[in-house]
Amino acid sequence: MRIALAEAEHAPLTGDVPVGAVVLAPDGSVLSRARNEREATGDPTAHAEVLAIRRAAAALGGWRLTGCTLAVTLEPCTMCAGAIVLSRLARVVYGAADPKAGAAGSLWDLVRDRRLNHRPEVIAEVLPAPSATLLSRFFRPRDF
């Protein structure tokens, strides 16, 4: 989670929401890391989770991330939850809960929906305070 937090700290430099993610291989080594890049790239799908999943798949040479772990500073949204399920990640670990858009237990629980063919383990609220602080600092000066 600390690697994901370090990524999140760089996102505001491009005007992006401070969310960071890292994908760990089954042996715990880092496969990929990413931060939100929607503003930087103009890509609405450039969430930290999606970018980290894409990069991990490229590093492994295939789309199945079986046995891998995604750590992300904010609870994944529905788009990212879908990518988590489709990539066959073994687990997702997140920092701050997102009661407005979270899809790993807060608002929805897409990643553990029994109707789907894959359900990763979810470990919620790991180092939630630093994750929440980054988000609060980012949004405080804005009029959202």
pLDDT tens track, the chain, 144 positions:
999 999 999 999 999 999 999 999 999 999 999 999 999 999 999 999 999 999 999 999 999 999 999 999 999 999 999 999 999 999 999 999 999 999 999 999 999 999 999 999 999 999 999 999 999 999 987 555
- Please enumerate, by residue number, every residue annotated as part of a binding site: 47, 77, 80
Known catalytic membership, residue 37:
no
Of residues 49, 75, 121, 125, which has the active-site annotation? 49
The 8 Å CB, 24+ separation contacts for 42-45 are: 45/79
Contacts of 43 (CB under 8 A, 6+ apart): 37
Neighbours of 133 (CB within 10 A): 13
Binding region for Zn(2+): 47, 77, 80
Q: Is the domain defined by 1-135 classed in CATH 3.40.140.10?
A: yes
Q: Report the candidate in 103, 131, 102 with the shortest Cα–Cα distance to residue 119.
A: 103
* Beta-sheet pairing, 69-74 with 121-123: unpaired
Which ranges constitute the DSSP H helices of 2-110?
2-10, 38-41, 48-60, 78-86
